[in-house]
Structures are given as C-alpha cells and as structure tokens.
Amino acid sequence: QKEVEQDPGPLSVPEGAIVSLNCTYSNSAFQYFMWYRQYSRKGPELLMYTYSSGNKEDGRFTAQVDKSSKYISLFIRDSQPSDSATYLCAVHNTDKLIFGTGTRLQVFP
Amino acid sequence: DTGVSQDPRHKITKRGQNVTFRCDPISEHNRLYWYRQTLGQGPEFLTYFQNEAQLEKSRLLSDRFSAERPKGSFSTLEIQRTEQGDSAMYLCASSSLQGSHTQYFGPGTRLTVL
C-alpha cells in the first residue's frame, strides 16, 4: 500500500464550478499536509499546508484534513481556466515529503 | 529573493554518459532537497542536505548517483553511466531549518537518456 493515495483523474469541470480534490494516507503519525500545484513541465508550487486536523482557507482555496479517516481534501471555489494544472497532495515525514501521484484538473471556459 | 533555480533546464544525453545538475536554493534556507519525478507520478525523495552535511539518502539513490553541497550553498547532483531509466525530471527544493514541511521547488531539470 502506498503511503499517500491520490486519484490521477483527469478531472474536467466548467469554469465557475467547485472542485474537490482528495487524498488518503496510511500513517496516523503524519502531522503536516501540503497541497502543491504543478503546471505542465514546471516545478511544483506550494499552495498551502495544514497542521493536524481542521480547515485552512486562502482565497478561493480551502484545505481540509480529517485525521480520523486519514483523508485530505482541497476545495477550489469559482474555478478558473488558469487553475488547470496537476494538483499534488503531500505529507511531511521526518524532513522529507511524500507525494501522491497528482490529480490532473482541466477547467474549461 | 529569486526562489530556487536549477541549471540546466533540459539535458539530453546518450546512455553511458555522465551528467551533472546544479541547484541554487533560496539564499537563507539551510536545507536543500533533491527529488525525482517521472511521468504521471509525484516527486520521489532522493536525498537532502542541512548546510553542507548530507543527512539522508533514499534507496532510490543508487551508487551511480552522488550529490554534494560543498559550501552549504548550491548543490550538484551527478549521475554516472546514465541509463534510459534515469530519464525523469530532477527537482530541487529548499526550506528553512524549522520549516522543513514547507519546501519550495525549483523549475526542475528534465533529463532524457537516449
């Protein structure tokens, strides 16, 4: 079993839709949970991180962690074509990051 | 602050050749990380440095791979006797000592081994 599981998609939504991206993880000891955005042939860009359980909001983006079910979510409100990218979830494990496979998102006008 | 930079951005080489990549981290960051990303996968950890000390190496880092950070600033990753399976995006990231959960990535070096 992989330590972080993520549906690779692709996920295609119309502009303005609410997008929900999800990951599961295996080790209950993980405390920090990150979301990165990666455009084609570019490096990952840190969107936000959450410590332990709860929600964190930044503009149109909300990250949510449910430690009881080992579930990580990223919600994007009012999605834009410029949000089209691959979204990677990651957990922090003793100084290194463990990533999911990434979900490819396409937002069409 | 110009962020993490990597050079070259693209490298095409023939099987059996040696290649070297360079990473310049964010200037105030003590920690520097190398990851490898293949198509359709997330980045996988290779190794990391705290200042000039290499503190951890993944089992993915075979004997043909070596990384250095001699003065605690920039780092190099060398692959000897490249194989086609080495074709991937090599990503460098950096973080502060206290903020290793917030790692900032460079644009990557895309390696193609023919």
Residue labelled with tokens 């075979």 = B62
Take residue B42 and report the two structure tokens written for it: 């997330």
Chain A CB contacts of B6 under 8 Å are 43
For residue B85, the SS3 value is helix
Q: What is the pLDDT of residue B1?
A: 54
* Residue A97 touches chain B, beta carbons under 8 Å: yes
Residue-by-residue DSSP string for B14-68: -TT--EEEEEE--TT--EEEEEEE-TTS--EEEEEEETTEEEEE-TTS-TTEEEE
Distance from the A45 Cα atom to the nearest Cα atom in chain B, whole angstroms: 7
| Degrees to nearest 5, angle at CA B20 with B106 and B98 | 40
Chain A CB contacts of B40 under 8 Å are 8, 101-102
* Residue A95 touches chain B, beta carbons under 8 Å: yes
**CA torsion A40→B2→B36→A13, rounded to 10°?**
-30
Nearest to B26 by CA among B97, B112, B110: B97
Distance from the B44 Cα atom to the nearest Cα atom in chain A, whole angstroms: 7
- Rounded Cα distance, B48 and B4, in Å: 15
Q: What is the pLDDT of residue B86?
A: 96
Find the closest chain A residue to B31 by CA distance.
A95
CB A91: neighbour CB atoms within 10 A? 25
A4-56 per-position pLDDT tens digit: 999 888 999 999 999 999 999 999 899 999 999 999 989 999 999 999 888 99
Cα B41 to the center of its chain, rounded Å: 16
Chain B CB contacts of A4 under 8 Å are 42
* Residue A34 touches chain B, beta carbons under 8 Å: yes
Chain A CB contacts of B100 under 8 Å are 92, 95
- Rounded Cα distance, B107 and A76, in Å: 24
Bridging pattern class, strands A32-38 and B53-57: unpaired
For residue A82, the SS3 value is helix
A55-106 per-position pLDDT tens digit: 999 999 999 999 999 999 999 999 999 999 999 999 998 889 999 999 999 9
Q: How far lies A31's CA from each of A8, A15, A28, A54, A97, in Å?
A: 24, 33, 8, 11, 12
Q: What is the pLDDT of residue A64?
A: 95
pLDDT tens by residue, chain B, 114 residues? 579 999 999 999 999 999 999 999 999 999 999 999 999 999 999 999 999 999 999 988 889 999 999 988 999 999 999 999 999 999 999 999 888 889 999 999 999 999
